[in-house]
Structure 1
Amino acid sequence: MKVLISGAGIAGNALAFWLSKLGHEVIVVEWFPNLRATGLQIDLRGPGIQVLRRMGLEEAFRAKAAPEHGFQIVDGSGRRRAYFPANKSGKGLQSLTSDFEIMRGDLCHLLHHATEGRATYVFGTSIESYEEKDSVVEVQFAGGRTDTFDLVVGADGQWSKTRKMMLGPDAPDALYLLGGVYTAYFTMPRPIEEGEEYIATAYIAPGRRGLFLRRHSPDTVQVYMGCTSDSDKLRGARRGDMKAEKEALAEFYQGAGWRTREIVKAMREADDFYCERMCLVKLDAWSRGRVTLVGDAGYCPSATTGMGTTCGMVGAYILAGEIARHCGGNDTKDDLAGALKAYDEKFRPFMDQVQKGVASDTGMWSSMPTSAFGVGVLNCIMGLVSFLRLDLAKWFLKEDAVKDWKLPEARSNFPLRSLYFEEFTTQCHVLNFQSAN
């Protein structure tokens, strides 16, 4: 089939990897002028790790992995109140720091490099509109160019333009904002000090405000500013208006303590600042006709679950697997509807469990204290949890939420004739070269 993927992020690149490996003609369009390798640290958990291994990319992933060893909570004086090491055993649930931590840009580059040469990437354009007719999708791109495809996939994130087109101009969007939860991301220059370890550090301030620092290099620290707020200034700041967002956050974080002044100053100067409203994307169906969604565009679980990257990687694997299973006959277009239906049926039980309760509960932010006394109590509780070596990640993240669901095996999800497509064609090229000589 000729497949168009809108979005060259994690889910889009992962899907391009599998579909191009199956021999489909894959075109990926990205509105950004190049591979958008921005973003801070992300991780893989549970079945996301299994998919990475089935892609044969674990070694390459680990070569670029962020060297984070654990997670600590400090008080206003900087004193450690709790510490949770990463699970480096290779077994069981991940801790708050996963054994598979990586910068978003590094994972994007890794997936793109693994797909380069098999899929075609077109940067600086996007889907303007599309129309289904005569068993194909006719797409008009920004700039006026048109082309036809057998399948169009929206992998363009939680604010997906493809999803809005698929649902129709009069339909409400499927994106739900989560109770005034905001997270700002940026990096600040800060050379590593002698004896400093690569440990993520969280500080909880009164007023449902938090600061989170992660070091991924000797020269730079990642900063996360997370809060729950009904501030008119924050709510009124237009998404993407960095000046207004920075001003609103600077005002909201006044007097928060610890290293807030230093961090707010760095935020004002940061050119990689990004402020996100925490959202959930929930749809009754991820496909309509020959258009489907993958990753955050179809089922963003929100960063509060810790499962966003995993869901995108697993969803792409299952969608490609069902296409392999249903569209492998003489006419590859015959049962696309069956493939998209099976993708929904097979993956929805997983996503239902990951997203369960997220719309009514904002995870760790719903537990954030409003008073200094509450912060003190919470720090004591975290210290006790740490001392008893209990798994804090189970309380806040959703890795352990998925029960009675198993990632489809590669052999059933990808027929052998498809899995070995690349190896087979490589052997043919070698034989042709030998014959010519």
Structure 2
Amino acid sequence: MTQLKVLICGGGIAGHALAFWLSKLNHDVTVVERFPSLRTTGLQIDLRGAGIEVMKRMGLEEAFRARSVDEQGLKVVDSSDRTWAYFKANKTGKGLQSFTSDFEILRGDLCQLIYDATDDRAKYMFGTTIERYEEKNDCIEVLFSDGHTDRFDLLVGADGQGSRTRKTMVGPETVDPIHYLGLYISYFTIPRPIREGEGYEAKLYTAPGRRSILMRRHNQTQMQVYLQVSGKDHSERLMKAHKGGVTEEKKAMAEIFQGAGWHTEEILKGLEESQDFYCERLGVVKMDSWSSGRVVLVGDAAYCPSASTGMGTTSGIVGAYILAGEIGKYCGGTGAKEDLPVALKAYDDRFRPFMDQVQHGIVESAPLWQKVFPSSSVGIAILNCLLAIATILKLNVLGRFILREAVKDWNLPDYEEMVHGRRE
């Protein structure tokens, strides 16, 4: 079998998953990551639908469950902490997941699991970035930030929603294909020992002014906090703050949530002291093609569906599986390098119907997403009542109408040789 020499830019979940599969196919894989070591930070993520099956095919189910977060469901509460609605996690193994999936885990734990499972088959260059690359007739030449150059058969951009690889690939004359939704979310943890009577339920509180707070517990001593805002004034304030870095973003979020009620005072104190704060402007990446020449994109860099769909991690891990599978299918013989364009097109053809459904209508309905949290106390009361009715009727409104797990008329490819190895 002819080896491909592959460079993956980005050591996130999609990048690690692709390195796992390509190295299993015995390709020569290098991952370049700007962080000085493996990034094991990040809050809670989940897998849904096809993402669960891919994780199982990686042989990671037992290890995943050993590190999983045992969240039982989501409570919708008011400023007095009264529960209006409760959406229980679906742990039956059948049907759509609820807000809480049966496969919840901290981002860093999943990165570590996949990294460990790659079993030193891939090389990692930490604390390094790509300065520039140039496509030649028979390779792609890359200059790294440490000054050295190398040649590869394929460059994969797995560097997230704001991908530099994507921007270089599409060129300066093309508008970057990211569509912002007018929502911001900040993520951080606060110290909060579990109290008597508390469980591992997430709590969602909505405050007037299109503000919401989600709190989730992942261990006995800490809580995760997600501050979500929308609306023109908030967006303009946070866009301006982004230019000043984390300190200014923290200050802006604290100002926006001042006096929001519920546990805000405790949360804002934790915000000020947090060392893991991150603020994200929600966006959707939509492209006509995920590759150009010897450059291909995977995960959020290619088709970020936004956190609002609940499908970001699943899309990244399934996309990596299909990209590797098509490379294994078309580039396993003596003509591996010559058949690479065929494999990249097959990846697009196979996976695009999945992503079209996940992303369907999100960009077009951006004005509605900006109003998902009411601006007034009356609007919040109506929303809470509607969610209470949904709970009484046992309607999975979040899983069915908000999250995008239900992909129809699409089947996950098998790639038997990649998953199980070649049969003699």
Same fold (TM over 0.5): yes
Q: Equivalents in 2 of 1:119, 1:240: separation in Å?
A: 37
Kept after mapping to 2: 8 A contact 1:164/1:173: yes
Q: Equivalents in 2 of 1:134, 1:377: separation in Å?
A: 62
1:386 corresponding residue in structure 2: 391
Aligned residue runs from structure 1 range 221-260, under 5 A: 221-231=223-233, 232-238=236-242, 241-260=245-264
Determine which of 386, 393, 404 is the counterpart of 1:398: 404
Kept after mapping to 2: 8 A contact 1:54/1:410: no
- The answer to whether the aligner puts 1:408 opposite 2:413 as a matched pair is yes
- The answer to whether the aligner puts 1:367 opposite 2:372 as a matched pair is yes
Aligned residue runs from structure 1 range 85-104, under 5 A: 85-104=88-107
1:428 corresponding residue in structure 2: none
Shift of 1:116: 3.0
Shift of 1:365: 4.9
Kept after mapping to 2: 8 A contact 1:292/1:340: yes
2:302 corresponding residue in structure 1: 298
- The answer to whether the aligner puts 1:142 opposite 2:145 as a matched pair is yes
Please give the TM-score of this superposition, normalised by the length of structure 1. Answer: 0.93
- Partner AA of 2:221 in structure 1: D
Shift of 1:239: 5.2
Q: Equivalents in 2 of 1:420, 1:286: separation in Å?
A: 28
Q: Equivalents in 2 of 1:419, 1:64: separation in Å?
A: 25
Cα separation, partners in 2 of 1:388 and 1:240, compared to 1, 3 Å: farther
Determine which of 97, 121, 124 is the counterpart of 2:124: 121
Q: Secondary structure at the match of 1:237?
A: helix
- Partner AA of 2:190 in structure 1: M
Kept after mapping to 1: 8 A contact 2:231/2:370: no
Determine which of 47, 50, 53 is the counterpart of 1:47: 50
Q: Equivalents in 2 of 1:63, 1:315: separation in Å?
A: 25
Kept after mapping to 1: 8 A contact 2:285/2:305: yes
CA deviations on 1:118-167 (whole Å, 9 max, x unpaired) are 11111010111111113100111112110000111000100111111111
- The answer to whether the aligner puts 1:110 opposite 2:116 as a matched pair is no
Kept after mapping to 2: 8 A contact 1:209/1:226: yes
Shift of 1:364: 5.8
Q: Equivalents in 1 of 2:420, 2:411: separation in Å?
A: 20
Cα separation, partners in 2 of 1:151 and 1:240, compared to 1, 3 Å: farther
- Count matched residues: 417
- Partner AA of 2:386 in structure 1: I
The Cα RMSD (Å) is 1.5
- Partner AA of 2:201 in structure 1: I
Cα separation, partners in 2 of 1:295 and 1:143, compared to 1, 3 Å: same
Q: Equivalents in 2 of 1:106, 1:124: separation in Å?
A: 20
Shift of 1:255: 2.2
Q: Equivalents in 1 of 2:97, 2:135: separation in Å?
A: 43
1:420 corresponding residue in structure 2: 421
Kept after mapping to 1: 8 A contact 2:231/2:371: no
Structure 2, unmatched stretches of 5+, are none
Kept after mapping to 2: 8 A contact 1:16/1:119: yes
Kept after mapping to 2: 8 A contact 1:31/1:125: yes
Q: Secondary structure at the match of 2:175?
A: coil
Q: Equivalents in 2 of 1:296, 1:136: separation in Å?
A: 25
Cα separation, partners in 2 of 1:321 and 1:171, compared to 1, 3 Å: same
2:202 corresponding residue in structure 1: 200
Structure 1, unmatched stretches of 5+, are 425-437
Determine which of 345, 350, 355 is the counterpart of 1:346: 350
Deviates more, 1:126-135 or 1:236-245: 236-245
CA deviations on 1:358-377 (whole Å, 9 max, x unpaired) are 11324765321111011011
CA deviations on 1:277-321 (whole Å, 9 max, x unpaired) are 001111110000010000000110000000000000000000001
2:217 corresponding residue in structure 1: 215
2:180 corresponding residue in structure 1: 177
Kept after mapping to 1: 8 A contact 2:72/2:100: yes
Q: Secondary structure at the match of 2:159?
A: coil
Q: Equivalents in 2 of 1:258, 1:112: separation in Å?
A: 39
2:68 corresponding residue in structure 1: 65
Please give the TM-score of this superposition, normalised by the length of structure 2. Answer: 0.96
CA deviations on 1:238-278 (whole Å, 9 max, x unpaired) are 25711111111111112211111211121111111100000
Q: Secondary structure at the match of 1:116?
A: coil
Q: Equivalents in 2 of 1:85, 1:233: separation in Å?
A: 36
Shift of 1:229: 2.6
Q: Equivalents in 2 of 1:114, 1:234: separation in Å?
A: 39
Q: Secondary structure at the match of 2:214?
A: strand
Determine which of 300, 309, 315 is the counterpart of 1:311: 315
Cα separation, partners in 2 of 1:239 and 1:184, compared to 1, 3 Å: farther
Kept after mapping to 2: 8 A contact 1:10/1:108: yes
Q: Secondary structure at the match of 1:32?
A: coil
Of all paired residues, the percent bearing the same amino acid is: 58
Cα separation, partners in 2 of 1:390 and 1:377, compared to 1, 3 Å: same
Q: Secondary structure at the match of 2:395?
A: coil
Shift of 1:331: 2.7
- Partner AA of 1:29 in structure 2: V
